[in-house]
Structure 1
Amino acid sequence: MDEKNYKITLADETELSNLTMNGNNFISEATIDPGIFQSNCSPVVISDGEHDETHENMELVQVTEVNGQSWFVLRDMTPKELEQAKIKSDIEYLAMMCDVDL
């Protein structure tokens, strides 16, 4: 297990700190509510104390409780996923403006 401490800053400036990492799982001693990630992952800044990485579009994969700790995984969205989300949003907007039920 990686013994570095990580800090994640979400889009609304919420900070999750004193995180450790195992594989691609961030581990927190505090309980993590999955709701804090909803519409709050563009951008996400991940810091290991030496380097900051800014991820423009991430999403929560899962939050799991293991031995009283919260393990969670974030991932970058692919360009194709972002394109599809934009198209879906445009279609929903047009349907709303034309008063059409989808």
Structure 2
Amino acid sequence: MNKPAPGRLVLNHSTHIPGLIPILERLTKFNGIQTITPGVIGRVKGHTPKLKLRVSVPIRGGFKLIARQGKTVQEVFILTVWSQSELEAQISQLLARK
């Protein structure tokens, strides 16, 4: 039996939230994850001490996530066959093991 190919992590920006890329790399190893693309990075007023990943809205073929740490926020686009609840469960497990 063929092992499915791992997902792809697109690194098209020079800056990312610290600690985000290792978590996204681990996420690409799961079946059902096709492509992960970190997007626009910005600043917010609130302060989040630990890295948080939250599913924001569904997009065609997957979901948009919001990654936050400190006063920095970054969009992350994930193309997957998973449901929102499956994705949220996997992300919370990865963040707990960090």
The normalised TM-score by structure 2 is 0.25
Higher RCO, 1 vs 2 (CA within 8 Å, ≥6 residues apart):
2
Q: Which protein is bigger by CA-based radius of gyration?
A: 1
